[in-house]
Amino acid sequence: MAAVQRAQEQGREHPRLPLSNWTELDIWEYIYLENIPIVPLYFAAERPVVERDGALIMVDDDRLPLKPGETPQMRRVRFRTLGCYPLTGAIDSDADSLPAIIREMLLARTSERQGRVIDRDGGASMEQKKQEGYF
């Protein structure tokens, strides 16, 4: 949360999208401090997934046609971000509580958008647009 306060003090907070200056850790700390309920998909649990193009895609209904040779495997995963299905991949994780998620974020060296399949589209990725100041 200190990063948010510094951005405000230095006048770097985006006037229309102040949350765009928050880190993933800032958001999880705020959720924890304010005791905000969250969707269970953010917590680690055993879930059926297939690995497709480097992403762990959950297969819990018939919306995702399996490719030849794909077999769902039960893995302990959670989602760092939620988006359109099946464009959002899970991560291997044991973080099944808010304090565990915060600990995981303190050690994370990848973007929360690592699971977004759409972000693998180079110049059209949302991560690239964010870095360029698009939003």
What global pTM score does this model have?
0.71
Question: Residue 52 — left, alpha, or beta (φ > 0 → left; ψ -120 to 50 → alpha)?
Answer: beta
Which of the residue ranges 17-21, 54-58, 108-112, 126-130 has the most confident prediction, judged by mean pLDDT?
54-58
pLDDT computed for residue 50 by the predictor? 96
Cβ proximity of 49 and 56 under 8 Å: yes
Omega before residue 99 within 30° of 0, cis: no
Confidence of residue 127 (pLDDT cuts 50, 70, 90): low
Is pLDDT of 117 > 90? no
pLDDT computed for residue 51 by the predictor? 93
Confidence of residue 38 (pLDDT cuts 50, 70, 90): very high
Long-range contacts of 58-65 (CB under 8 A, 24+ apart): 58/86, 58/90
Averaged pLDDT score across all residues of the chain: 80
Q: What angle do CA 133, 9, 37 make, to 5 degrees?
A: 75
C-alpha to C-alpha distances, 106 to 6, 29, 68, nearest whole angstrom: 19, 11, 38
